[in-house]
Structure 1
Amino acid sequence: MYFKLPMSITANNVNTHQQPSTWYLYLIENKLGHLYTGITTSPARRISQHRGDIVGGARALKGKGPLHFRAIFLIGDRSTASQIEYKVKRLSKQKKRAIVKQKVLPKNLCGNLCENLCEDLCRNSQYISPCEYE
């Protein structure tokens, strides 16, 4: 006797896990005045994780609340967001504060990338008011 198994979702050559997503770069300030930099596809979910409302927050922020977004930038794809996150994490506290104050990413952030590409990335990154996610 043979049983016919139902077709899986991926059986029809559609991969539901690789849909294009929008990535954000964010800076969070803790009660000590330290700025934490990260990337995410959902700023609202990520701040909830960091605050301990849901599982998955960064260990570096545990017990250091209240936490507040200070800057959020719409970046685009994950690869670009990861590269920019790496560069921002290496900046001094003063330079990170300048990003928060000026609401723009510095043009010389990308280092090894082509200068024109870097300027395009920084110019096209869209600042989003942190108030939208508080």
Structure 2
Amino acid sequence: MPPSEHEPGPSRPWFLYVLRCADGALYTGVSTDVARRYRQHLAGKGARYTRLNPPVAVELVIEYSGRSAALQAEHAFKRLTAAAKRDFLARHSDLSSPD
């Protein structure tokens, strides 16, 4: 069985991700595998919020060296006002786009 996200193991990157939900709101989370986590949200197996307001798009993904850094970034992002979040997404959208 593969190790869970929360078990210690080889150092791997963690990602902050921001989803746009069906109601227009932004949902923020962290994961080591954003594609898998997004599929979970789509299947109704993610957070309660995304079960009620399914995601329609991944707006942003930023890589961090570890879980702690990703959680700190998530906390900081969640503290922003809605306008500041939109501005952040506009300024950082190139980080989540494939090259």
TM-score scaled by structure 2? 0.82
Moved over 3 A (4+): none
Q: Which has the higher contact order (CA 8 A, sep 6+)?
A: 2
The alignment partner of 2:95 has SS state of: strand
Q: Could you list the runs of 5+ residues in structure 1 that have no partner in the other structure?
A: 1-15, 105-125
CA contact (8 A) 1:71 1:127 kept: yes
Q: What percentage of residue pairs aligned between the two structures are identical?
A: 32
Aligned length: 93
Whether 2:49 is the aligned partner of 1:80: answer no
The Cα offsets for residues 25-76 of structure 1, whole Å up to 9 and x where unpaired, read as 11101111100111110010010011117x4x01111132242101111122
Q: Call closer, same or farther: CA 1:79–1:66 in 2, change over 3 Å.
A: closer
Q: Could you list the runs of 5+ residues in structure 2 that have no partner in the other structure?
A: 1-6
**Alpha-carbon offset, residue 17 of structure 1:** 4.7
Greater fraction of residues in strand = 2
Q: RMSD of the alignment, in Å?
A: 2.4
CA contact (8 A) 2:41 2:55 kept: no
CA–CA distance in structure 1, aligned partners of residues 88 and 37 of structure 2: 20
**Alpha-carbon offset, residue 128 of structure 1:** 2.4
Partner of residue 42 from structure 1, selected from 33, 36, 49: 33
The Cα offsets for residues 79-113 of structure 1, whole Å up to 9 and x where unpaired, read as 11111111111111111111111117xxxxxxxxx
